Amino acid sequence: MKINLEKIREQKSLKELIEFSIINIDKPANPTSFGVDTIVKKALGLRKSSHFGTLDPMVTGVLPVALNRACKLMGYFIGKKKTYVGIMRLHEEISKEKLQKEIRNFVGKIIQLPPVKSRVKREERQREVYSFKILEIDGKNVLFETEVEAGTYIRKLIHDLGLEIGGAHMLELRRTRVSIFGEEESHTIYEFLDAVEKNELKKILIPGEVISKILPVVEVKKEVIQKLYHGSPLFKKFVVGEKKFKEGEKICVFCREKFIGVYSVISHENVLGRAEFVLQPLK
């Protein structure tokens, strides 16, 4: 079953979208990620907002911000891959061939010690670098692109590479993708505020039903919706068609284009899953 996000956006009112949507902000340098949250929250009068993956103040790029009840979806997105483009400054000139050879040693599973100023506990942890490519070299400045596992520190990655090549530090960094959210569909803070002022916000909101691009979709029968709203587990007899999933797998439940919630699959003869998050109707 494929969910038509454009159809959902057209059919929902602005109030419904604000209650359960995501906006993909192109964060500029200087504001903190939490500062961007605050701007969005105040402009829309939200009860709550939360961003997917914190960026350092000087780092720019993709910063999806969840609105109100869409904040419940954050955990399903933040553990995904992230892509960055940046400029590193070499402390000594080396050949492109030698640099590429050293970079290959930082692709795959690596061990990182978080920076001193990080918010997490400073202990070594394993992260994966899926790709690390040189895009352009201008003297000691190197334009690079890297795709990494969530929680990988790019500045630390460049520092550790520098230890092998006579030193390197990061000059600029931009995040170009977080999970399914790319820079091509992002909007600057000024574009966002302009859309609010001109009553064109609906065009740039991403319905929370976009979770269907991350998790497998299960369709249920219309007559069971109220039972699910009232806390019933997801019985196998509620489901349209036969579905097989692994225990612990997360699935999103729809009735046609209507999102019901996210469920965790359990091993049971009659029950497919138990609710993690159910989107109750607006009152």
Per-residue pLDDT of the chain (283 residues; tens, 9 = 90+): 789 999 999 999 999 999 999 999 999 999 999 999 999 999 999 999 999 989 999 999 999 999 999 999 999 988 789 999 999 999 999 999 999 999 999 999 999 988 777 767 778 999 999 999 999 999 999 999 999 999 999 999 999 999 999 999 999 999 999 999 999 999 999 999 999 999 999 999 999 999 999 999 999 999 999 999 999 999 999 999 887 899 999 999 999 999 999 999 999 999 999 999 999 998 7
- pTM exceeds cut of 0.85: yes
Which pairs with CB-CB distance under 8 Å and at least 24 residues apart come from 41-46?
43/192, 43/193, 43/196, 44/18, 44/196, 44/201, 46/18
Residues of each domain in the chain carrying CATH 3.30.2350.10: 5-78+181-211
The CA angle 151-171-168, to the nearest 5 degrees, is 80
Domain 82-178, classified CATH 3.20.10.10, yes or no: no
Beta pairing, strands 125-138 & 108-112: antiparallel
The answer to whether the CB of 133 falls within 8 A of the CB of 144 is: yes
The residues assigned a catalytic role are: 56
Q: What is the DSSP letter of 81?
A: -
Residues of each domain in the chain carrying CATH 2.30.130.10: 215-278
Q: Which CATH architecture has domain 215-278?
A: Roll (2.30)
The topology (CATH level 3) of 5-78+181-211 is Pseudouridine synthase (3.30.2350)
Beta pairing, strands 168-178 & 250-255: unpaired
